[in-house]
C-alpha cells in the first residue's frame, strides 16, 4: 500500500550553495525538489554588492545541470560599509530579494558582519522604505553569553530594538531554535516571519552530545533542549503563515566536519521533503505541510506560489537515501535523522 500526496512545489527560504566544485555538487540536490531558494551570501569573500550578487547568480545558473529548473533568489551580506543606494538598485532590478544580517563572528564566514548597528541605520531605513526584507542570523556573539542563550538574548538586545528603531522594516528571523524565537515571531504581526530548519524539528542537543560527539549534528544556531524542539514543531505544523521552511542546508566536507575544530552546518538538501513529511505525519499535520513548505514563504516575500507540484509518496519499506554525496572537494555527509523514513519525492 502506498499513499501519495501532491504538493505545490516547495521553496527553500534559507540555503547555502557555496561556490565552485561544491556548488556544482550540491545544487542539483536542492533543484530536484525546490523551485527557488534564498541564497546565503557568506562566501569568502562575501557577496556584498549588487555586482557580486549578479556574478554569483550567473555562477549558480551555470552550475545547474541541463534540463533542471531553479531560480536563485539572491541576497546581499550586510556590512558596515554597505551602500544604501547599491542595495536599492539591486532590489529595483529584481536581482536581490533580501539583505542578510550576520552579527560579526556569529557563524561560518561572518567576520565581515555588523558590530555597530548605528552604522547600518541608513541601509535599514532604505530597506524599510522600499520593502526589502532583512534576513537575520539571530545570535549575539558576546563571549560572556552562553551559546545556548544567544538567540534569546539577541531578541532582547538586538532584534527588538532594531525593529522598533526602523518601523516598516520587514524581517525574517532565520532558523529559529527556541521557544523564545517562536514566541517573539508569534507576538508580532505585519512584517515579521520566522524560518525553521528541517533538522531543528528532528534533533535536540542530546543528539549532538550523548554517546559520543556527533559532528554532523553540529550547526549554528546549535540545537537546544527538547522543549524548544517541541515548540518549533508546534509552530511549523500549525499552519501559521508567519512560519516557513528555510532548511539552512549548509554543506561542509567530512574532513572539515570530523576534525578537532569542526565546521557548523547540517546538509539536508537531499532528504528534506521526505523528512518533513515524516515529521508532519507524526504531528498529525500532513495537511499543513504545504503551507509551511510552499505557501507561507512566497506570501511573506510577496512572490507568486509555484505553478507546478511535486508528489510525496509513502511506501512500506524504508527509503534508502545516500549517506554522502561526492563533491570535487570531498564527500559531504547527508543528514541522518536516526530513524527510518518511508516517504520519498516521486
Ligand atoms: C552555516 C554555514 O555553514 O555557512 N552554518 C550553519 O551551521 N548553519 C552558517 C549559518 O547559517 O549560520
Ligand atoms: Zn545558514
Give pLDDT tens digits for 29-81. 999 999 999 999 999 999 999 999 999 999 999 999 999 999 999 999 999 99
Query: How much distance in Å is there from the Cα of 124 to the middle of ligand 2?
Result: 21
Answer whether 0.95 is exceeded by the pTM.
yes
Cell numbers representing residue 318 in the block: 524504508
Q: 306 - beta bridge partners? A: none
* Burial state string for 239-251 with b = 16 or more CB within 10 A and e = fewer than 16: bbebbbbbbbbbb
For the CA of 248, the nearest atom of ligand 1? 8
What are φ and ψ of residue 77, in 5° steps?
Answer: -85, 115
Report the distance separating Cα 180 and Cα 326, nearest Å. 38
Catalytic residues: 248
Using CA atoms in the order 194, 197, 200, 203, what is the torsion angle rounded to 10 degrees?
170
Site to substitute for ligand 1 among 265, 268, 269, 329, most atoms within 8 A of C-beta: 265
- So what's the pLDDT on residue 1? 64
- Range from 108-117, 149-158, 307-316 carrying the lowest mean pLDDT: 108-117
- So what's the pLDDT on residue 333? 99
Annotated binding residues for Zn(2+), written as ranges, equal 14, 16, 100, 137, 175, 248
Topology (CATH level 3) of domain 3-345? TIM Barrel (3.20.20)
Mean of pLDDT values over 4-32: 98
**% of the chain beyond a pLDDT of 70:** 100
For residue 162, which of 180, 144, 183, 188 has the smallest C-alpha distance? 188
Cell numbers representing residue 254 in the block: 567530512
For every residue of 213-227, DSSP letters joined together read --GGG--SSPP--HH
For the CA of 102, the nearest atom of ligand 1? 12
Sign of CA dihedral 167, 172, 175, 177: positive
Amino acid at each position: 500500500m502506498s499513499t501519495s500526496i501532491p504538493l505545490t512545489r516547495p521553496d527553500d527560504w534559507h540555503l547555502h550553495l557555496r561556490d565552485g566544485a561544491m556548488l556544482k555538487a550540491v545544487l542539483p540536490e536542492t533543484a530536484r525538489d525546490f523551485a527557488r531558494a534564498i541564497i546565503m551570501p557568506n562566501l569568502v569573500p562575501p557577496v556584498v554588492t549588487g555586482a557580486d550578487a549578479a556574478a554569483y547568480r550567473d555562477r549558480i545558473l551555470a552550475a545547474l545541470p541541463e534540463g533542471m529548473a531553479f531560480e536563485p533568489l539572491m541576497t546581499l551580506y550586510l556590512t558596515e560599509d554597505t551602500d544604501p543606494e547599491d542595495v536599492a538598485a539591486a532590489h529595483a532590478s529584481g536581482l536581490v530579494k533580501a539583505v542578510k544580517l550576520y552579527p560579526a563572528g556569529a557563524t561560518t564566514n561572518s567576520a565581515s558582519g555588523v558590530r555597530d548597528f548605528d552604522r547600518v541605520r541608513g541601509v535599514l531605513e532604505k530597506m524599510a522604505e522600499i520593502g526589502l526584507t532583512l534576513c537575520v542570523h539571530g545570535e549575539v556573539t558576546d563571549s560572556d553569553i552562553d551559546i545556548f542563550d544567544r538567540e534569546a538574548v539577541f531578541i532582547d538586545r538586538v532584534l527588538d530594538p532594531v525593529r522598533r528603531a526602523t518601523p516598516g522594516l520587514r524581517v525574517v528571523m532565520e532558523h529559529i531554535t527556541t521557544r523564545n524565537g517562536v514566541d517573539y515571531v508569534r507576538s508580532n504581526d505585519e512584517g515579521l516571519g520566522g524560518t525553521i530548519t528541517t533538522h531543528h524539528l528532528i534533533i535536540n542537543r542530546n543528539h549532538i552530545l550523548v554517546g559520543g560527539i556527533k559532528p554532523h549534528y553540529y550547526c549554528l544556531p546549535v540545537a537546544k533542549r527538547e522543549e524548544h524542539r517541541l515548540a518549533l514543531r508546534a509552530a511549523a505544523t500549525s499552519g501559521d503563515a508567519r512560519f516557513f521552511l528555510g532548511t539552512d542546508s549548509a554543506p561542509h566536507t567530512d574532513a572539515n566536519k570530523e576534525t578537532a575544530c569542526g565546521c557548523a552546518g547540517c546538509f539536508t538538501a537531499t532528504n528534506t521533503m521526505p523528512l518533513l513529511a515524516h515529521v508532519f505525519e507524526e504531528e498529525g499535520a500532513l495537511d499543513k505541510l504545504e503551507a509551511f513548505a510552499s505557501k507561507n514563504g512566497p506570501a511573506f516575500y510577496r512572490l507568486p506560489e509555484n505553478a507546478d507540484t511535486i508528489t510525496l509518496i509513502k511506501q512500506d519499506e524504508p527509503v534508502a537515501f545516500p549517506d554522502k554525496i561526492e563533491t570535487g572537494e570531498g564527500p559531504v555527509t547527508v543528514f541522518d535523522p536516526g530513524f527510518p523514513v518511508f516517504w520519498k519525492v516521486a
